[in-house]
A and B are shown apart, each in its own frame.
Chain A
Amino acid sequence: MTGKATRGPRPDGRSFRIGTGAGGPGPRARDTSGHLWMLASGVIVAGVLAPVGGLVYYAAKGSGDLWPHLAGTILPAALQTTLLLLAGVGLIVSAVGVGTAWLVAMYRFPGRRLFEWALLLPLAVPTYIVAYAYLDVLHPVGPVQTAIRGVLGLASPRDLWFPEIRSLPGAIVLLGFVLYPYVYLPARALFMMQSPALVEVARTLGSSRRRVFWRVALPLARPAVAVGASLALMEALNDIGASEFLGVRTLTVAIYSTWVTRSSIEGAAQIALVMLAFVVLLVTLERAARRRQRFVSRSSKTRTAVPETLSGLGGLAATAACALPIAVGFLVPASYLVHHAARRLLEHGLPNAFPGWVANTLGVSAGATVATILAGLVIAYTGRFARHRAARSLVRLSSLGYAVPGTVLAAGMLMPFAGLDNLIADTWRGLTGERVGLILSSTGIVLVLGYAIRFLAVSSGGIEAGLTKIPPSLDMAARTLGARPLRTVARIHVPLLRPAIAAAGLLVFVDCMKELPLTLMLRPFNFETLATTVYGEAARGTYEDGSIAALTIVIAGLAPVIFLARSSFRDAPKASRRSPASDDAVVEATAAPAV
């Protein structure tokens, strides 16, 4: 600010600047702040890449004859199982997600207002808990088959044929009905935001509703569906708990046995990196395929669609179609947990350690959510302010953490984090002569960082999407009126972004609470969370003893999910009441893996 800019006296005595003063909207100013953003993002992305680096370190040590062995034995079968699982889950999440979203967005039928948000409920239940619950409920000696035998008058479980849940189809159905909200959420918001005008145009031109769905709505929804489905598929691909219990041998399970049974972290890292490359390739191809598609959302000007009333059989069918996924993905596992938790509570009361589990879970999830949102803001702003091609690559790279199985990601984090921790400890000892131990890991900072790396995709994607809804003309106006960049952010962006940040934050929070593998491997001493408690009981076969903790995870996850649904789905009768960024923020907050 030293005289380089042209200054002129103002009547009130304060000076004003013209042209290229620091903080002004000139090209040079953009460059410097752009570089700062790039630098900050670079640091964050380096953090995200650290575990991948850790895996590369292991992988580079070599794995002997692992690959010939895999290729000659389980690889073909594991590959086939994995692809079938992904195809099946992809089909179910897309069909259920888009179908129910279309119904609640375009029609009026009994229960619609309830379904609008209740369809999100399966988000609150971790997949491993769903698997435990169904194994028990659908077992030949479980309540369902016992009841059926009772009705049919069959004495032995052998007399009744019942589909085996411990199978690939079983896993596909379970995962599909738990993960579909990842598609439902963005698809519904998209139908609400973008379709009405187009739908009406198509209708006036003589298209039937069905035709409109296939020719207009579905193509419009494709980006949202693609991104939501890829998120669901990464969850399915990276799942170990449910697959292990359902006896489904995917590539991820192959990683696991290479590591655990044959003590070869090196081999496991190699398989994981190959899988990661595969995921990145798929996502890139999908993006390339729709690069030419551009849909401009004029959100602030849209109205909500006027739903058509479905009566009689049609209405009943719609109700059933929405009730089914909620029942399968939420009601059954939740009731199972309530049943068992109630029995334990009546017998023994709350476990003494319970408040500690809750406090640890909430504390570390909250800390991680704040860190993840801040990092997400930096990443998203880099995308906006730094106009390099490199900036976009940084944004993409930031979501790699979501594309690696949690257990493997945690293993990759051990080397870099412990390295940093040791560096701090040794430096401190060199300076003061004191032994402080591993500060980052003993304080839980490593765990918070781990969550942030894993879930950064969820926050950066959501915030980025919210940010693109703020037209650059607003920035320009603010700057023209003399606001500096940070002030612009604080006074213009943050208020407009609030729904996007809230949505992303809630999703990250729920994800952190459910997270298991990172928590198990990276936590400090004497640090039990709800998820680790559930796992500790499940691992020794006493699932029911974990039911209180499991139910608490679901309940704690419910609040954010319902809040999320309510705050962003509130049907605004007047368009002006709706914040322009809100629905799209929700779209992108779930549909975030911008790998």
Chain B
Amino acid sequence: MSKSSSLLAALAATVLTALPAVAAEVNVYTTREPGLAQPLFDAFTKETGITVNTIFMKEGLAERVAAEGANSPADLMMMVDFGNLADLADRGLTQPIESEALNQAVPESLRDPAGSWYALSARARVLYVSKDRVTDDKITYEDLADPKWKGKVCLRSGQHPYNTALIATVITKDGREAAKTWLEGVKANLARKPGGGDRDVAKDILAGLCDIGVGNSYYVGLMRSGSGGDEQKTWADAIEVVLPTFKDGKGTHVNVSGAALAKNAPNKDNAVKLMEFLVSEEAQEIYAKANFEYPVRAGVSPDPIIAELGQLTVDPTPVTDIVKNRKDASLLVDEVGFDN
């Protein structure tokens, strides 16, 4: 064998072993940031030897899978927000999963009845209030429209999925007209134009720009733990967290992150394995400890920082109703000119 032909053979061997079909793998399209999702995937690979390939995307995930069609390499689609997950199913991009492990771990209220998507973690939409300037500890979402908060309310864009899901819940409970009046009341109370992220609410409360705002529970964990830097600890120190209810007193609004199995998943078995792993105790611990989210699996407790916020009672509005009213919520935001 000449030198060049042995070189060729070696090259061919390299190429062949590099072919993806050989390796056990699973392909994930995700809108969850790598910093959050990667530790979970690493743990999965360590346990099963299955490689997790990821593309972190922002918008366009559903469009990409739809355009790729039958040859799409996507196995799992991971997204936040009920609406986004339901949307995947509505567009026919998912296939139902039949898995005892998943059905046992994820409560019925946190998954699609047909098994098209499953929640993997939950977060509460809570109130951040100023430690110094606010003494009430029982506040409802509806109270945000109370004129006593005039010029004191801060939050991110009304069009953000976290907010439209909350507004959709109000629509479900009180009807569109009442929700509109409420939203107009909140707008009248705004201290600044809606914008930025949830953390900016805490920062603005520290700065005295506002006294009360809406934010997700896990940001409190990220700020208080100091994992985002010392600076953020001072923001979190300025706020007290209130777990609000709607005026019917039934519970706090919760949203989820979740996953769906792609209709044309080439590695279906591995994908289901990954999903089952994600609701295992080990992975749910990671969700709780690293991301400060609420585990969906019973028996796994949230991080102490989150547990300290108080006992979470989840508002029982059915997810399907929230999803149904999501578009109306978004239209309402435009109608009252909430972000203008």
Interface residues of A (CB under 8 A from B): 69-70, 72-74, 77, 135, 139-141, 156-158, 164, 166-167, 244-247, 249, 256-257, 259-263, 265, 407, 410-411, 414-415, 417-419, 421-422, 425-426, 435, 437-438, 441-442, 517, 520-521, 523-528, 532-533, 535-537, 539-542, 544-545
A262 CA / B204 CA spacing, docked (Å) = 29
User: Known: A411-B63, A422-B69, A422-B71. Contact between A541 and B340, CB under 8 A?
Assistant: no
**A414 x B335 contact (CB < 8 A):** no
Cα of A166 to Cα of B161 in the assembled complex, Å: 21
Whether A244 contacts B71 in the complex (CB less than 8 A), given A69-B334, A410-B60, comes out as no
Complex: A156 Cα to B164 Cα, angstroms: 34
Q: For the complex, what is the distance from the CA of A141 to the CA of B205, rounded to whole Å?
A: 10
- Provide the main secondary structure of the chain A interface: helix
For chain B, the bracket of interface size reads 35 or more
B195→A539 contact, CB < 8 A: no
Q: Are A418 and B68 in contact (CB under 8 A)?
A: yes
In residues 166-200 of chain B, which contact A (Cβ within 8 Å)?
192-200
Q: Of A257, A525, A533, A540, which one neighbours B55 at CB under 8 angstroms?
A: A525
Q: Is the CB of B195 within 8 A of A166?
A: yes
A541 — nearest CB in chain B belongs to which residue? B199
A246 to B200, CA, bound (A): 12
Residues of B contacting A249 in the complex (Cβ-Cβ under 8 angstroms): 339-340
**Which listed residue (B59, B68, B195) contacts A247, Cβ 8 A?**
B195
Rounded to whole Å, the gap between the CB of B339 and the closest CB of chain A is 5
Is B72 a contact of A536 with CB atoms below 8 Å? no
Which of B27, B60, B204 is A414 in contact with, Cβ under 8 Å? B60
Q: What is the CA–CA distance of A540 and B227 in the complex, to the nearest angstrom? A: 12
Residue of A260, A261, A414, A540 with most partner-chain B CB within 10 A: A261
Residue pair A245, B35 in contact (C-beta under 8 Å):
no
* Cα A524 to Cα B53 with chains together (Å): 9
B: residues with CB less than 8 A from A are 20-21, 27, 33-36, 53-60, 62-64, 67-73, 83, 87, 157, 159-161, 164, 192-200, 203-204, 206-209, 219, 222, 227-229, 234-235, 266, 326-327, 330-331, 334-335, 337, 339-340
Measured in the bound complex, the distance between the Cα atoms of B15 and A435 in whole Å is: 16
Can you list 17 A-B pairs, Cβ within 8 angstroms, ordered by A?
A74-B339, A74-B340, A157-B207, A167-B193, A263-B83, A410-B60, A411-B60, A415-B67, A422-B68, A435-B71, A521-B59, A521-B64, A525-B27, A528-B56, A537-B33, A539-B33, A541-B222
Residues of A within 8 A of B67 (CB): 414-415, 417-419
Cα separation A542 to B226 with both chains bound (whole Å): 11
Known contacts being A166-B193, A407-B59, A536-B34, is A541 close to B228, with CB within 8 Å?
Answer: yes
Contact A141 B228 (CB under 8 A): no
**Chain A residues in 8 Å Cβ range of B71:** 421-422, 425-426, 435, 437-438
Q: Does A261 lie within 8 Å of B330, measured CB to CB? A: yes
Across-interface contacts of B222 in A (CB, < 8 A): 540-542
CB B270 to nearest CB in A, in angstroms, measures 14
With A410-B60, A442-B73 as known contacts, state yes or no: A77 contacts B337, CB within 8 Å: yes
- Give the distance to chain B from A253, nearest Cβ to Cβ, in Å: 8
